[in-house]
Structure 1
Amino acid sequence: MNGTGNTILVTGSTSGIGLGLALRLHKAGNRVIIAGRRKALLDKIVSEHPGIESVVLDVCDPQSIQRSSEALAVSHPNLNVLVNNAGIMHWEDLTDSGYLSTAEDIVATNLLGTIRMVYAFTPQLIKQPSATIVNVSSALAFVPLPATPTYSATKAAVHSFTQSLRVQLQASSVEVIELAPPGVRTSLLGQENDEHAMPLEEFLDEIFELLKLSPTPRELVVERAKPLRFAEASGSHDEVLKMLAEYKAPAA
């Protein structure tokens, strides 16, 4: 992936990792378009960071995705990088049927949202001389957090989908990268002040060092994510799963 001179669309970029990536990419000399559902919040970010652009886009709504892809093909014909970052994460109790709607929302956002974005934007990306799709999965794609079962499952599916996408696009101009974060101090699961989670700026520093490598790694995995990413290969999967099973939803 070229470090500068790109036109980049980042979904789920009004907070957390998505916003952090967008700001860093813009600072590096890229044209960045942030995407999210709340126009007022998008407008606030754009006003605070001159040069960044925005588009109202709901990855859970196929029509919203289609409208955005058609509009951006006209307004930004040089769009050559798609970062599929939009995602939600919630605690679940699999013995309580009331959580089914929560699980369905997670699948619609994390998995179907990523798949729909790829189908909608790949036709434009493959027309570019050089393009990149970055799918954000999670270290929990490799060892699940039992208290967030559907989130972990969707990220495992994103990992698998990304592998297949890479193979199907290997003869094209589109590079496919997976970003698999560890727990990071964001609002995703209310872990802004969690001492066990990685500070956001520290995470971004390490990611952007990986992006400087040539060729760009197929998987962007920071050091703190490696124990989960390689748990199966190292024979520590069951031990790590047992450790993660100790994390419980906070008391209401």
Structure 2
Amino acid sequence: MQITHRTVLVVGGTSGIGRGLAQRFADAGSTVVVGGRDPGRPAGLETVRIDVTDPESVLRARDEVLDAHPDLDVVVTMSGVMLTEDLRDPAHIAAAETTIATNLLGTIRVVDAFTPHLLARGHGTILTVSSGIAFLPFPLMPSYGASKAGVHAYTEALRAQLAGTGVEVAELVPPAVATAGQERVNPAALPLDAYLDEVVELLAAEPTPAEVLVEGVRMHRWAERDGTYAELVERRSQSLRTLPGR
């Protein structure tokens, strides 16, 4: 996809991968709007307040963005939360509900809000964000994995339904990336800048890849195919020892 001279909305772009990706689009010469519940004032980027768990907030943000940027042609939806859960404790349902509402339903709400605009233009790009955990579960965060697997499946269906409209659909599949302290939890987390270097190169390919897979996430994406799935899930299950009473 062309990443220069686009008009881009990054929902969930106030920190981490989203903030970095927004800056990469801006550095390439695109107009970028960053959306979040508390977007702040990132240097050189416009902002819009949006809470993806609130349908009215999503619609207000849509109207604000399209009023200011009727040429919007790229929508990136990557708002997400990562919460641990102890499935032996029924109280985990609160974390599960928050995770599904943000990661999966939030993605669907943002896509729904902007799809009619892109279809009317006859071209554009929707970029969803799943995770390597969508394909190789991390048992300490069960609803996170389920929500991201849902984003993957929804993206596949969206791509099929929008085929032939001029609106392309791509899925960013990050591995662990060193943001929000993840480098302390997971020493294997990729440095953010190195990750974004790979992502931008992959995104710029023609045609746009259906799945944006950096080298560091391929072992997760293809674990079942490669016969390493059971071993890797068992290894990841060691994290359950951090739960109380384990």
Compute the displacement of 1:71 (Å): 2.3
**More displaced, 120-129 or 215-224?**
120-129
Quote the residue 2:238 is aligned against: 246
Compute the displacement of 1:69 (Å): 1.2
Q: How does 1:160-199 map to 2 (within 5 A)?
A: 160-187=153-180, 190-193=181-184, 194-199=186-191
What's the Cα RMSD here? Answer: 1.4
Task: State the identity as a percent.
Answer: 45
Structure 1 residues 108, 249: CA separation in 2 closer, same or farther (over 3 Å shift)? farther
Q: Please tell me whether the aligned partners of residues 89 and 148 of structure 1 are also in contact (alpha carbons under 8 angstroms).
A: yes
Quote the residue 2:29 is aligned against: 29
Structure 1 residues 94, 251: CA separation in 2 closer, same or farther (over 3 Å shift)? closer
- Distance in 1 between residues matched to 2:242 and 2:52, nearest whole Å: 28
Would you say how many aligned residue pairs link Structure 1 and Structure 2? 243
Deviations 1:177-208 (A, max 9, x none): 00000011111xx4143322111111101111
Quote the residue 2:229 is aligned against: 237
- Distance in 2 between residues matched to 1:152 and 1:240, nearest whole Å: 15
User: TM-score, normalising length from structure 1?
Assistant: 0.93
Corresponding letter in the other structure for 1:174: V
- Distance in 1 between residues matched to 2:232 and 2:216, nearest whole Å: 13
Quote the residue 2:40 is aligned against: 42
- Distance in 1 between residues matched to 2:241 and 2:82, nearest whole Å: 12
Q: Please tell me whether the aligned partners of residues 136 and 223 of structure 2 are also in contact (alpha carbons under 8 angstroms).
A: yes
Structure 1 residues 236, 192: CA separation in 2 closer, same or farther (over 3 Å shift)? closer
Deviations 1:60-116 (A, max 9, x none): 100000111122222210011000111000111011122211110000000000011
Q: Please tell me whether the aligned partners of residues 65 and 116 of structure 1 are also in contact (alpha carbons under 8 angstroms).
A: yes
Deviations 1:115-156 (A, max 9, x none): 111111100111224300000000111111000000000000
Corresponding letter in the other structure for 1:191: Q
Q: Please tell me whether the aligned partners of residues 122 and 165 of structure 2 are also in contact (alpha carbons under 8 angstroms).
A: no
Quote the residue 1:102 is aligned against: 95
- Distance in 2 between residues matched to 1:199 and 1:247, nearest whole Å: 22
1:223 lines up with 2:221 in the alignment: no
SS at match of 1:166: helix
SS at match of 1:3: coil
User: TM-score, normalising length from structure 2?
Assistant: 0.95
- Distance in 2 between residues matched to 1:249 and 1:22, nearest whole Å: 37
Quote the residue 1:149 is aligned against: 142
Unaligned runs of 5+ in 1: none
SS at match of 1:178: strand
- Distance in 2 between residues matched to 1:86 and 1:249, nearest whole Å: 28
1:84 lines up with 2:85 in the alignment: no
Corresponding letter in the other structure for 2:182: Q
Unaligned runs of 5+ in 2: none
Quote the residue 1:116 is aligned against: 109
Q: Please tell me whether the aligned partners of residues 132 and 221 of structure 2 are also in contact (alpha carbons under 8 angstroms).
A: yes
Compute the displacement of 1:244 (Å): 1.4
Structure 1 residues 121, 245: CA separation in 2 closer, same or farther (over 3 Å shift)? same
